[in-house]
C-alpha cells in the first residue's frame, strides 16, 4: 500500500516529510502546497508553498521547527510548526552554487547540513542560529552519507571509502 494512501491526490509528489507532535508535514518536490496531516484524526490542512522546484531536499523536525536542507538555494529554510511561518536564513558568503546540500543531522545543539559533493559541511548553532563551515580533513569533493547516531555524527565518503566523525569540543570533523 502506498504510504500516503488517502492523503495525496493523483499526480502529487511529496517525497520529503517530518513527524512532529502527532502530525506529519509533507513538502512537495514539485507543487504549490505543503500538507499538515493529523495522524490521530486523519484530517489534513494544505498551505501555500512558494519555493522553487528542487530548492530544498531533506527535512528534519527539531525544537518546534521544520528545517529544510538547501539543495539549490542560498538559504536554509525553517518553518515554525505552531504558526506555519517560514523564515529564511541566508548562507551569506558560505554559499557556493556548486555545493548542493542533501541531508541534515542534529547533533547536540547544532544542525549539520551534509553536502552532496563538497569538502564543506555547514553547522547551524541552534542557540543563536549562526552558521559556520567545517572543512573535511581532505581537500577533495566527496559524496557524503550520514549515519544515524544519538551521540555521534558519523559521515561516510561514498567515493573514497573514508569515515569521518565530528568532534564537538574541537568543532572539527576528523577522519577515522
Give tens-digit pLDDT for 65-118: 999 999 889 999 999 999 999 999 999 998 888 788 888 988 889 999 988 777
Percent of the chain exceeding pLDDT 90 equals: 37
Reduced to 3 states, what is the DSSP secondary structure of residue 92? helix
pLDDT digits (tens, 9 = 90+) for 23-40: 989 888 767 888 999 989
Nearest by Cα to 72 from 93, 48, 51, 47: 51
Q: Collect all residues with Cβ–Cβ distance below 8 Å to 169 and sequence separation of at least 6.
A: none
Residue with cell 502546497: 33
Buried-exposed string 49-59: b where 16+ CB fall within 10 A, e elsewhere: eebeeeebbbb
- Of 24, 32, 71, give the one whose Cα is nearest residue 51: 32
Q: Cα 15–21–110 angle (5° rounding)? A: 75
Residue, of 162 and 82, whose pLDDT is higher: 82
Residue 96 pLDDT: 84
How many angstroms separate the first and last alpha carbons of the chain? 41
pTM (two decimals): 0.82
Query: How many residues in the chain?
Result: 176
What pLDDT does 154 receive? 77
Band (1; pLDDT cuts 50, 70, 90): very low
Angle CA 86–92–98, to nearest 5: 100
Q: Rounded mean pLDDT of the chain?
A: 83
C-alpha closest to that of 103 among 91, 111, 95: 111
Residue reference for cell 507532535 = 21
Q: By percentage, how much of the chain surpasses pLDDT 70?
A: 86
Look up cell 500500500; give the residue: 1
CA–CA dist 168, 156 (Å, integer)? 18
Amino acid at each position: 500500500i502506498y504510504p500516503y494512501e488517502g492523503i495525496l491526490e493523483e499526480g502529487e509528489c511529496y517525497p520529503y516529510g517530518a513527524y512532529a507532535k502527532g502530525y506529519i508535514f509533507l513538502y512537495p518536490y514539485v507543487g504549490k502546497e505543503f500538507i499538515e496531516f493529523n495522524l490521530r484524526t486523519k484530517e489534513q490542512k494544505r498551505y501555500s508553498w512558494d519555493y522553487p522546484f528542487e530548492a530544498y531536499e531533506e527535512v528534519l523536525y527539531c525544537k518546534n521547527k521544520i528545517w529544510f536542507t538547501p539543495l539549490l538555494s542560498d538559504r536554509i529554510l525553517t518553518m515554525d510548526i505552531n504558526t506555519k511561518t517560514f523564515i529564511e536564513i541566508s548562507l551569506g558568503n558560505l554559499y557556493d552554487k556548486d555545493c548542493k546540500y542533501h541531508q541534515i543531522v542534529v547533533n547536540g545543539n547544532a544542525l549539520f547540513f551534509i553536502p552532496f559533493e563538497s569538502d564543506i559541511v555547514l553547522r547551524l548553532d541552534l542557540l543563536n542560529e549562526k552558521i559556520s563551515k567545517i572543512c573535511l580533513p581532505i581537500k577533495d569533493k566527496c559524496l557524503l552519507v550520514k549515519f544515524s547516531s544519538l551521540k555521534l555524527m558519523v559521515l561516510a565518503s561514498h567515493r573514497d571509502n573514508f569515515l569521518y566523525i565530528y568532534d564537538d569540543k574541537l568543532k572539527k570533523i576528523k577522519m577515522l
